[in-house]
Amino acid sequence: MSTHQSLAADDAPITTRAALIGVFEDGGKPVDAWRIGTEHEKFVYRLADHRAPSYEEPGGIRDLLLGMERFGWEPVIEGGHVIALKGADGAISLEPAGQFELSGAPVENIHQTCAESNRHLAQCREVGNELGLGFLGLGFWPDKRRDELPWMPKGRYAIMRAHMPRVGGLGLDMMTRTCTIQTNLDYAGEADMVKKFRVSLALQPLATALFANSPFGEGKPNGFLSYRSHIWTDTDPARTGTLPFVFEDGFGFERYADYALDVPMYFVYRAGKYIDAAGQSFRDFLAGRLPALPGETPTIADWKDHLSTAFPEVRMKGYLEMRGADGGRWDRICALPALWVGLLYDDVALDAAWELVKNWTAEDHARLRDDVPRLALKAPSPLGGSLQALAKQVLAIADAGLARRARQNRMGDSEQGFLNPLREIADSGLTNAERLLARYEGSTDFIYETESY
């Protein structure tokens, strides 16, 4: 989840509907300016006993953040607490229960993504070893109850914590017990955005299946391969889901703005503090009738903040966010952007992927979203057969897209190699979740040995 940051231009008041849509229009970039942003979260635990450390305790999350400053990271302060860091490799932030996230800087190719991730993980290990902390790559805490987990001192989380039980049964689990990998990608303009949004939204369940990595909860199998994905089905229906309107005629920037306007608000940020506006309407805010701030109207920064509180499977914020993957080992961090860049940053690949999904019905999309958390690659494909067969087709398209991009590192390696972990999963039909279940013998302790960074 986002840490509050805004530009001076974002202080401009919103006076027209065009200003709302302009945030999306301004995201359009020429092809040579397209970049790749990768975000990845990991669970932090005590090496001695696997306990999740609090923010305040000696050697806890605060000290972890402070320890990272030696690498040139600069602190971000909220309410007197260091709650994030910013630097050349992007930003480090905290999820609600102390999950540690790198939101990587925009880079040109997957080689740079992987180098950035490796630097970050090396820094985490150096500081973590000094503090007795480890880092776990999984989609859901394998053994922690919610009441065993701490809360971080971030204003927006206090508001969300109070609001979540009003709108869903698993929202607090989403906040405290999940980790994900995400990829953020650019578009050229509205037409390009529409095609990329449709392809990535249709295939998001496939990414969930390939990255399924959350089969345990509270020390035992939970009945799912991606329990993290299932959690999103009972978090808050007003701000989650597969957005059927994306596939309807006329979809574009304006239609997404209408969707976002109808997402209930969480907060307004003023003078360094989060003001509770949970459940209130951004449309009322535009009209100066927001109960939390009577008479005030929003700025562009308020609109951007609001956009960050919608959580569909694919999200637009002036770029597209791919949100379907569980957290996982280091090679998965590089594999996710490789998959989506191969599909979306090459016109031939994008057209081929669209040919696969363009005739899927709303029922197909919904069924796939419902099946994948339990079945992963064994879920039925809308094209017939299992999702495993579709995975092989899609990975072949992505591989060809990366080949045509022809972005090599200094050793002459292409970006295609970053797909190898996904190819192995597609060929075998076995997700990491299934491999972990096969090793389970009544305890999840082994996961700390096999799935830590």
| C-beta of residue 204 within 8 angstroms of C-beta of residue 314 | yes
Using alpha carbons, select from 374, 430, 329, 38 the residue that is nearest to residue 205. Answer: 374
Q: How far is CA 200 from the centre of its chain?
A: 13
For residue 7, the model assigns a pLDDT of: 66
* Reported confidence tier of residue 10, pLDDT bands at 50, 70, 90: confident
- Spell out the residues 6+ positions from residue 158 whose beta carbon is closer than 8 angstroms to its own: 151, 274
Using alpha carbons, select from 195, 151, 211 the residue that is nearest to residue 176. Answer: 151
Residues 246-288: pLDDT tens digits?
Answer: 999 999 999 999 999 999 999 999 999 999 999 999 999 999 9
**Looking up tokens 């039909």, which residue turns up?**
429
Average pLDDT, rounded, for the chain: 97
For residue 428, the model assigns a pLDDT of: 98
- Spell out the residues 6+ positions from residue 23 whose beta carbon is closer than 8 angstroms to its own: 300, 303, 304, 307, 317, 318
Angstrom distance (rounded) from CA 204 to CA 247: 14
Is 190 among the domain residues?
Answer: yes
- Spell out the residues 6+ positions from residue 171 whose beta carbon is closer than 8 angstroms to its own: 160, 163, 164, 165, 234, 235, 236
- Residue 6: is its pLDDT beyond 60? no
Is 446 among the domain residues?
Answer: no
Q: Supply angle C-alpha 294, 295, 300, rounded to 5.
A: 100
Angstrom distance (rounded) from CA 26 to CA 404: 28
For residue 3, the model assigns a pLDDT of: 61
Q: 3-state SS string over the chain?
A: CCCCCCCHHHHCECCCHHHHHHHHHCCCCCHHHCCEEEEEEEEEEECCCCCCCCCCCCCCHHHHHHHHHHHCCEEEEECCEEEEEEECCEEEEECCCCCEEEEECCECCHHHHHHHHHHHHHHHHHHHHHHCEEEECCCECCCCCHHHCCCCCCHHHHHHHHHHHHHCCCHHHHHHHECEEEEEECCCCHHHHHHHHHHHHHHHHHHHHHCCCECEECCEECCCCEHHHHHHHHCCCCCEECCHHHHCCCCCHHHHHHHHHHCCCCEEEECCEEEECCCCCHHHHHCCCCCCCCCCCCEHHHHHHHHCCCEECEEECCCEEEEEEECCCHHHHHHHHHHHHHHHCCHHHHHHHHHHHCCCCHHHHHHHHHHHHHHHHHCECCCCCEHHHHHHHHHHHHHHHHHHHCCCCCCCCCHHHHHHHHHHHHHHCCCHHHHHHHHCCCCCCCHHHHCEC
Angstrom distance (rounded) from CA 363 to CA 365: 5
What is the average pLDDT across 81-107? Answer: 98
- Residue 103: is its pLDDT beyond 70? yes
Query: Which percentage of the chain shows pLDDT scores above 70?
Result: 98
Identify the CATH number of the domain in which residue 230 sits.
3.30.590.20
Angstrom distance (rounded) from CA 310 to CA 241: 10
Query: How many Cα atoms within 13 Å fall on the side-chain side of residue 21?
Result: 11
- Domain boundaries, position 271: 8-441
Q: Is the full-model pTM beyond 0.85?
A: yes
What is the average pLDDT across 421-427? Answer: 98
Angstrom distance (rounded) from CA 453 to CA 122: 9
For residue 5, the model assigns a pLDDT of: 58
* Reported confidence tier of residue 8, pLDDT bands at 50, 70, 90: low
Is 90 among the domain residues?
Answer: yes
Is 293 among the domain residues?
Answer: yes
- Spell out the residues 6+ positions from residue 383 whose beta carbon is closer than 8 angstroms to its own: 356, 389, 390
Q: How far is CA 258 from the centre of its chain?
A: 22
Distances in Å between the alpha carbon of 365 and those of 36, 124, 276, 305, 399?
26, 38, 35, 29, 24
For residue 9, the model assigns a pLDDT of: 76
Residues 393-417: pLDDT tens digits?
Answer: 999 999 999 999 999 999 999 999 9
What is the average pLDDT across 364-377? Answer: 98
Is 450 among the domain residues?
Answer: no
Is 2 among the domain residues?
Answer: no
* Reported confidence tier of residue 2, pLDDT bands at 50, 70, 90: low
The total number of structural domains that make up the chain: 1
- Spell out the residues 6+ positions from residue 234 whose beta carbon is closer than 8 angstroms to its own: 168, 169, 170, 171
132: left (phi over 0), alpha (psi -120 to 50) or beta: left
Residues 159-193: pLDDT tens digits?
Answer: 999 999 999 999 999 999 999 999 999 999 999 99
Is 449 among the domain residues?
Answer: no
* Reported confidence tier of residue 36, pLDDT bands at 50, 70, 90: very high
Q: How many other CB atoms are found less than 10 A from the CB of residue 392?
A: 15
Q: What is the dihedral of CA 327, 332, 333, 339, to 10 degrees?
A: -110
* Reported confidence tier of residue 1, pLDDT bands at 50, 70, 90: low
What is the average pLDDT across 363-378? Answer: 98
Is 418 among the domain residues?
Answer: yes
- Residue 318: is its pLDDT beyond 80? yes
- Residue 205: is its pLDDT beyond 80? yes
Q: How many other CB atoms are found less than 10 A from the CB of residue 282?
A: 24
For residue 388, the model assigns a pLDDT of: 98
